[in-house]
Amino acid sequence: MASVNVDGNLIAHTKPLSGGNKGDNGEIIVKEKVVQMQNGCICCTLRSDLLVEIARLAWGERDFDHIIIESSGISEPQQVAETFTAELTKAMIDAEGMEMEERETFARVAEIGGLKSIATVDTMVTVVDAFRFFSEFDTAEFLQDRFGKEVPEEDQRTISDLFADQIEFANVIVINKIDVVDKHTLGRVRAYVRALNPGAKLIEAKYSRVDIKEMLNTGKFNFAEAIASPGWLKSLHEMTVMDVHGKKRVAPKPETLEYGIGSFVYTARRPFDPLKLYRMLEGKFLLLQDEPDDDDDDDESDTSSASDQDEGSLDGSGESGEEDQVSEMDPHLILANKKASPYFSGLHRSKGVLWFATRPNQMGSWSTAGAMLTVGSEMPWFCTVSEEEWMADEATTKSIRADFEGDWGDRRQELVMIGEKLDVEGLTKLLDNCLLSRAEMRKWKRIMHDKTLSQDEKENKLQESWDDSYWAEWQDGGDETEKQHQSHGHNHGHV
């Protein structure tokens, strides 16, 4: 990633070895070209380089059983895996700036069905530092804060979000530096990793020494399953009813209970009052809000003003009015507030969907990693569009239908939370207090059932009834292809 490719320099200074020699540890060493890729993140600008070089190796004179790709620590593993899809290959054929030879290689690869026709992803491996594990969640840092010029200016990802993504997408997770933490800390790390990714194989290591056989030819990677949802979301289906503090409760599998690490799902069939939710969260999370790109040539000062409100702490700085630019709360104070909270101190990861009273047609998205909270919109609620527009097969349609209930279809609150010694009852009560009251719900229903109002008029009435000003505008579901590109890139939707 950096201007100086350290790993590339190490490769360049390695003494060439003759083919077929055995190394000190019994590995087979062959003299072959090791590709040095430079000038960008492997998950974006270098995906074309990656595809071309893998194709060249596969079509070359020598036969290879496996290729090991080591991406930078700030890249997303999903991006590397996407290189092997036919869709990406076809999309990149028409990319600007591609040389003729490179384009010909892409065309050839696309013709045979994508890179996966000549090479498949076998295993995704993530290495975590046991010593720094919890500090990577308890940080308000953006990648730019830590890595500076190594990260593109438009990259607004956070350390904690990326850390969680790298763990959740892996098939094999190496917990390194186990010799510098005590037994209890190692147990907590192990339990957290298992909770975040219950399907991954865990390997513990000192000095990154791992038997390569543990990571090659495993057959563990499945792209369709990997992108469907994090493993810890799937694991909820495997949770069991257990006796917890004298009460019957759905709980995680026993191996996580030793360290008090578990997860639960908050669900509700009433919408949130946006202001109540904001007030409940303010000062405890650094808020990142996804909002649609503005293609209009608006005044620069207007754009700047909007941006000030769409990224910052939950500290009341979203208010409008003369001289209302309240300075953003110090991220360190936010971390301290979160740690001091009896409800949020142990929350390390959460994800789910939101239903706002003022946005009846849009499915909100919620994601936290440490003190970072990202709120945006994934798509319209399925109940607001015709079934033909779902473009889903029979099994998927059945799954979507399972979320429907009563007059309001699939509209719901569904937040999955994972953490240490979580106060489930306390968190549930906090969130319940942000829902519309029964009286407010009757008012909401009257507006929604009023046939004299157009859809826009209904939304205007809802926004007159409940303050929505602290939350950025959401996507309306428009161009799904563009949305997917943004979500799979560097979170360009964050401002």
The predicted pLDDT at position 1 comes to 40
The predicted pLDDT at position 484 comes to 38
| Residue type (1 letter), 173 | I
The predicted pLDDT at position 485 comes to 38
| Of residues 52, 9, 51, 16, the one with CA closest to residue 33 | 16
CATH architecture classification, 122-229: 3-Layer(aba) Sandwich (3.40)
The predicted pLDDT at position 281 comes to 95
Contact 135, 183 (CB under 8 A): no
The two tokens of residue 478 are 């428009």
Contact 291, 492 (CB under 8 A): no
Between CA 254 and CA 260 the distance in angstroms is 10
Question: What residue segments make up the domains of the chain, in order of their start?
Answer: 1-121, 122-229, 260-488
The two tokens of residue 390 are 């779902």
Between CA 394 and CA 476 the distance in angstroms is 26
| Residue type (1 letter), 243 | D
The predicted pLDDT at position 10 comes to 43
The predicted pLDDT at position 258 comes to 59
Between CA 388 and CA 411 the distance in angstroms is 19
Handedness of CA 301, 466, 315, 423 (dihedral sign): negative
The predicted pLDDT at position 415 comes to 93
The CATH number that domain 260-488 falls under is 3.30.1220.10
The two tokens of residue 166 are 């790298």
Q: Which DSSP category does 380 fall into? A: E
| Per-residue confidence in pLDDT tens, the chain, 495 aa | 443 444 444 444 444 433 444 455 444 333 333 444 444 444 444 567 778 888 888 888 778 888 888 876 667 777 778 778 777 777 666 665 567 777 788 888 888 888 888 888 899 999 999 998 988 888 878 777 777 776 666 667 788 888 888 898 899 999 999 999 999 999 999 998 998 888 899 999 998 899 988 989 999 988 777 666 565 555 444 444 444 445 444 444 444 555 677 888 899 999 999 999 999 999 999 998 866 555 444 444 444 433 343 555 565 444 433 333 334 678 889 989 999 999 999 998 998 999 999 999 999 999 999 899 999 987 899 999 999 898 878 878 888 899 999 999 999 999 989 888 899 999 999 999 999 999 999 999 999 999 999 999 999 999 999 999 999 998 765 444 333 334 333 333 332
CA angle 297, 301, 304 (to 5 degrees): 95
The predicted pLDDT at position 4 comes to 41
| Of residues 117, 47, 108, 51, the one with CA closest to residue 77 | 47
Task: Identify any residues that bridge with 351 across adjacent strands, giving them in sequence order.
Answer: 367, 416
Q: Which DSSP category does 4 fall into? A: S
